[in-house]
Protein backbone atom coordinates (compact mmCIF):
# COMPACT_ATOMS: atom_id res chain seq x y z
CA UNK A 1 0.00 0.00 0.00
CA UNK A 2 2.85 2.41 0.78
CA UNK A 3 4.50 1.97 -2.62
CA UNK A 4 1.17 2.49 -4.39
CA UNK A 5 0.48 5.63 -2.35
CA UNK A 6 3.89 7.05 -3.23
CA UNK A 7 3.48 6.15 -6.94
CA UNK A 8 0.06 7.80 -6.99
CA UNK A 9 1.44 10.94 -5.35
CA UNK A 10 4.38 11.17 -7.75
CA UNK A 11 2.18 10.80 -10.82
CA UNK A 12 -0.51 13.27 -9.70
CA UNK A 13 -0.30 16.56 -11.61
CA UNK A 14 0.01 19.86 -9.79
CA UNK A 15 -0.43 22.30 -12.67
CA UNK A 16 -1.47 21.17 -16.13
CA UNK A 17 -0.16 17.70 -16.85
CA UNK A 18 3.19 18.07 -15.04
CA UNK A 19 3.42 15.31 -12.38
CA UNK A 20 4.71 15.97 -8.88
CA UNK A 21 7.77 13.82 -9.57
CA UNK A 22 8.97 16.63 -11.87
CA UNK A 23 8.83 19.09 -8.96
CA UNK A 24 10.64 16.68 -6.66
CA UNK A 25 13.40 16.27 -9.22
CA UNK A 26 13.69 20.04 -9.53
CA UNK A 27 13.71 20.36 -5.73
CA UNK A 28 16.55 17.80 -5.59
CA UNK A 29 18.50 20.06 -7.91
CA UNK A 30 17.69 23.25 -5.96
CA UNK A 31 17.57 22.17 -2.31
CA UNK A 32 21.26 22.82 -1.55
CA UNK A 33 21.78 25.64 -4.05
CA UNK A 34 22.85 28.11 -1.35
CA UNK A 35 25.34 25.86 0.44
CA UNK A 36 28.31 27.67 -1.16
CA UNK A 37 27.07 31.07 0.05
CA UNK A 38 26.46 29.85 3.62
CA UNK A 39 29.66 27.80 4.01
CA UNK A 40 31.49 28.61 7.23
CA UNK A 41 33.97 26.96 9.57
CA UNK A 42 33.72 26.95 13.34
CA UNK A 43 36.62 27.23 15.78
CA UNK A 44 37.79 23.62 15.40
CA UNK A 45 37.66 23.73 11.60
CA UNK A 46 34.35 21.89 11.15
CA UNK A 47 32.44 23.10 8.11
CA UNK A 48 28.75 23.95 8.35
CA UNK A 49 26.08 25.49 6.15
CA UNK A 50 23.70 27.04 8.66
CA UNK A 51 20.69 28.66 7.03
CA UNK A 52 21.30 27.28 3.54
CA UNK A 53 17.71 26.07 3.34
CA UNK A 54 16.24 29.52 4.03
CA UNK A 55 18.67 31.22 1.64
CA UNK A 56 17.84 28.53 -0.92
CA UNK A 57 14.13 29.27 -0.60
CA UNK A 58 14.68 32.82 -1.92
CA UNK A 59 16.89 31.62 -4.74
CA UNK A 60 14.36 28.94 -5.70
CA UNK A 61 11.63 31.59 -5.80
CA UNK A 62 13.72 33.77 -8.14
CA UNK A 63 14.45 30.81 -10.42
CA UNK A 64 10.76 29.86 -10.50
CA UNK A 65 9.89 33.45 -11.37
CA UNK A 66 12.39 33.46 -14.26
CA UNK A 67 10.90 30.18 -15.49
CA UNK A 68 7.42 31.74 -15.21
CA UNK A 69 6.10 28.87 -13.12
CA UNK A 70 2.60 29.08 -11.70
CA UNK A 71 2.14 30.22 -8.10
CA UNK A 72 1.26 26.67 -6.97
CA UNK A 73 4.46 25.33 -8.54
CA UNK A 74 6.60 28.03 -6.96
CA UNK A 75 4.94 27.53 -3.58
CA UNK A 76 5.65 23.78 -3.65
CA UNK A 77 9.29 24.23 -4.69
CA UNK A 78 9.87 26.92 -2.06
CA UNK A 79 8.33 24.66 0.59
CA UNK A 80 10.47 21.68 -0.39
CA UNK A 81 13.70 23.71 -0.47
CA UNK A 82 12.98 25.64 2.74
CA UNK A 83 11.89 22.63 4.78
CA UNK A 84 14.18 19.85 3.52
CA UNK A 85 16.17 19.97 6.78
CA UNK A 86 13.11 19.47 9.01
CA UNK A 87 14.08 15.83 9.63
CA UNK A 88 17.31 16.37 11.54
CA UNK A 89 19.25 13.28 12.62
CA UNK A 90 18.29 13.80 16.25
CA UNK A 91 14.61 13.23 15.62
CA UNK A 92 15.03 9.44 15.50
CA UNK A 93 16.58 9.26 18.95
CA UNK A 94 15.01 12.28 20.61
CA UNK A 95 12.04 10.46 22.07
CA UNK A 96 9.86 13.01 20.30
CA UNK A 97 6.18 12.27 20.05
CA UNK A 98 6.20 11.04 16.44
CA UNK A 99 2.41 10.83 16.25
CA UNK A 100 2.25 14.54 16.97
CA UNK A 101 5.24 15.29 14.72
CA UNK A 102 3.75 13.52 11.70
CA UNK A 103 0.27 14.94 12.35
CA UNK A 104 1.72 18.47 12.27
CA UNK A 105 3.90 17.68 9.27
CA UNK A 106 0.99 16.52 7.13
CA UNK A 107 -1.34 19.19 8.46
CA UNK A 108 1.11 22.02 7.83
CA UNK A 109 2.21 20.79 4.40
CA UNK A 110 -1.20 19.98 3.00
CA UNK A 111 -0.97 16.25 3.56
CA UNK A 112 0.24 15.03 0.23
CA UNK A 113 3.12 17.46 -0.02
CA UNK A 114 4.31 16.16 3.35
CA UNK A 115 4.87 12.92 1.42
CA UNK A 116 6.93 14.89 -1.07
CA UNK A 117 9.02 16.30 1.74
CA UNK A 118 9.65 12.79 3.09
CA UNK A 119 10.70 11.59 -0.37
CA UNK A 120 13.05 14.57 -0.87
CA UNK A 121 14.52 13.92 2.57
CA UNK A 122 15.16 10.28 1.66
CA UNK A 123 16.87 11.28 -1.60
CA UNK A 124 18.99 13.87 0.22
CA UNK A 125 20.09 11.38 2.89
CA UNK A 126 20.86 8.63 0.38
CA UNK A 127 23.05 11.03 -1.62
CA UNK A 128 24.91 12.31 1.46
CA UNK A 129 28.54 11.47 2.10
CA UNK A 130 30.82 12.07 5.03
CA UNK A 131 31.87 10.62 8.38
CA UNK A 132 28.45 11.19 10.00
CA UNK A 133 26.69 9.16 7.30
CA UNK A 134 26.78 5.56 8.44
CA UNK A 135 24.76 2.52 7.49
CA UNK A 136 22.91 2.82 10.83
CA UNK A 137 22.18 6.50 10.15
CA UNK A 138 20.70 5.72 6.72
CA UNK A 139 18.70 2.76 8.03
CA UNK A 140 17.17 4.90 10.78
CA UNK A 141 16.22 7.51 8.23
CA UNK A 142 14.69 4.94 5.85
CA UNK A 143 12.65 3.52 8.74
CA UNK A 144 11.58 7.02 9.76
CA UNK A 145 10.42 7.88 6.22
CA UNK A 146 8.64 4.53 5.85
CA UNK A 147 6.94 5.06 9.21
CA UNK A 148 5.81 8.51 8.09
CA UNK A 149 4.30 7.15 4.89
CA UNK A 150 2.48 4.38 6.76
CA UNK A 151 1.14 6.88 9.31
CA UNK A 152 -0.08 9.07 6.47
CA UNK A 153 -1.92 6.15 4.83
CA UNK A 154 -3.44 4.90 8.07
CA UNK A 155 -4.46 8.31 9.39
CA UNK A 156 -5.15 10.30 6.22
CA UNK A 157 -8.70 11.22 7.23
CA UNK A 158 -7.47 12.51 10.61
CA UNK A 159 -4.32 14.13 9.29
CA UNK A 160 -5.93 15.71 6.22
CA UNK A 161 -9.63 16.00 6.95
CA UNK A 162 -11.77 17.51 4.22
CA UNK A 163 -12.13 21.25 4.63
CA UNK A 164 -15.48 22.11 6.11
CA UNK A 165 -14.97 25.84 5.69
CA UNK A 166 -12.62 27.99 3.68
CA UNK A 167 -11.17 31.30 4.79
CA UNK A 168 -13.54 32.99 2.39
CA UNK A 169 -16.51 31.19 4.04
CA UNK A 170 -15.43 32.48 7.47
CA UNK A 171 -15.06 36.05 6.18
CA UNK A 172 -18.53 35.92 4.61
CA UNK A 173 -20.28 34.28 7.56
CA UNK A 174 -18.71 36.54 10.19
CA UNK A 175 -18.50 39.59 7.91
CA UNK A 176 -14.84 40.23 8.81
CA UNK A 177 -11.87 41.20 6.59
CA UNK A 178 -8.98 38.96 5.62
CA UNK A 179 -6.21 38.65 8.18
CA UNK A 180 -4.53 36.35 10.69
CA UNK A 181 -7.74 36.06 12.69
CA UNK A 182 -9.22 33.96 9.87
CA UNK A 183 -6.48 31.34 10.23
CA UNK A 184 -6.97 31.21 14.00
CA UNK A 185 -10.71 30.67 13.56
CA UNK A 186 -10.15 27.92 10.98
CA UNK A 187 -7.62 26.18 13.21
CA UNK A 188 -10.10 26.08 16.09
Compare 93 and 122 and report the one with higher pLDDT: 122
Residue 59 pLDDT level (bands cut at 50, 70, 90): very high
Please state the three-class secondary structure of 107-128 as a single string: HHCCCHHHHHHHHHHHHHHHCC
* pLDDT-above-90 percentage for the chain: 45
Which residues, in sequence order, are bridge partners of residue 40?
48
Say what the pLDDT of residue 113 is: 87
Question: Mean pLDDT, the chain, as a whole number?
Answer: 88
Q: Read off the pLDDT of residues 4-31 as tens digits, 9 standing for 90 and up.
A: 989 999 999 988 899 999 999 999 999 9
Of 120, 123, 141, the closest CA to residue 132 belongs to 141
Note the pTM of the prediction, 2 decimals: 0.79
Phi, psi at 15, each rounded to 5°? -130, 130
Say what the pLDDT of residue 21 is: 96
Say what the pLDDT of residue 154 is: 82
Q: Read off the pLDDT of residues 69-98 as tens digits, 9 standing for 90 and up.
A: 999 999 999 999 999 988 876 676 666 678
Say what the pLDDT of residue 161 is: 67
Say what the pLDDT of residue 140 is: 87
Q: Read off the pLDDT of residues 132-173 as tens digits, 9 standing for 90 and up.
A: 788 888 888 899 899 888 888 887 777 666 777 888 898 999
Amino acid sequence: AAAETVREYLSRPLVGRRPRVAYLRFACLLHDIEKPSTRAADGDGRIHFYGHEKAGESTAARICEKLKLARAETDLLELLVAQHMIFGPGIYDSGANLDRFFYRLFRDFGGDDGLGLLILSMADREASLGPAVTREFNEKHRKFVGDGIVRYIEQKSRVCPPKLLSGEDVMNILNIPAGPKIGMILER
